[in-house]
Amino acid sequence: MWERTLTVNGFSKAFAITGWRLGYIAGPKHFIAACGKIQSQFTSGASSISQKAGVAALGMGHAGGETVANMVKAFRERRDFLVKSFREMDGVKISIPQGAFYLFIDMSCFYGVEAEGFGKIDGSEALCRYLLDKAQVALVPGDAFGGDTCVRISYAASLSTLQDAFARMKEALMLLRAAVPV
């Protein structure tokens, strides 16, 4: 199996060092050599500070030890708060993610509404712009991921920050509920 096995992984999610863009691949020498040739034409190497962070992360013991266990618990609490909160909103569809720290939420129930002073909410990009403007919360339009009915929200922030952001989003979305679809 060794000659047919590739292991690809990263540090961003496993050790909550998002944005550091540090990962690795392991496998047969001939395959790794080919990957190195391709990679060298697309990106530069990982920064030295990212490499140091990776070494520190690997030094934390099996599966990141207690530190990672505490992070997993905190991310689960944040995820569960947001899932429960969004599920309580009529028409919003959400599933529980099993990895990462993003929710992909179907919020198309708010589409077709003319928002006062904003314009028509006609897709995920418009809804994200509306929520940025009215609730000061940045989301990513789902059309960037092939699902224009959805928006993506990260829960890589403190629970209190997420609670505050959800309250502001809910208030802004209730204004859309009060409007009549066009």
**Per-domain residue ranges of the chain:** 2-59, 67-178
**76 Cβ contact partners less than 8 Å away, ≥ 6 residues apart:** none
| pLDDT of the residue at 108 | 95
Farthest-apart Cα atoms in the chain, separation: 62
Q: Which of 81-85, 98-102, 164-168, 178-182 has the lowest mean pLDDT?
A: 178-182
Mean pLDDT, the chain, whole residue set = 90
120 forms bridges with which residues in the sheet? 114
| pLDDT of the residue at 181 | 54
| pLDDT of the residue at 179 | 64
Instruction: State the pTM of this model.
Output: 0.77
Phi-psi region of 91 (alpha: psi -120 to 50; beta: other; left: phi over 0): left
User: What is the average per-residue pLDDT within 37-50?
Assistant: 81
159-178 helix and 124-135 helix, angle to the nearest 10 degrees: 110
Separation between Cα atoms, residue 132 and residue 113, nearest integer Å = 17
Separation between Cα atoms, residue 141 and residue 19, nearest integer Å = 19
| pLDDT of the residue at 28 | 94
**47 Cβ contact partners less than 8 Å away, ≥ 6 residues apart:** 20
Top CATH class of 67-178 equals: alpha beta
The number of residues making up the chain comes to 182
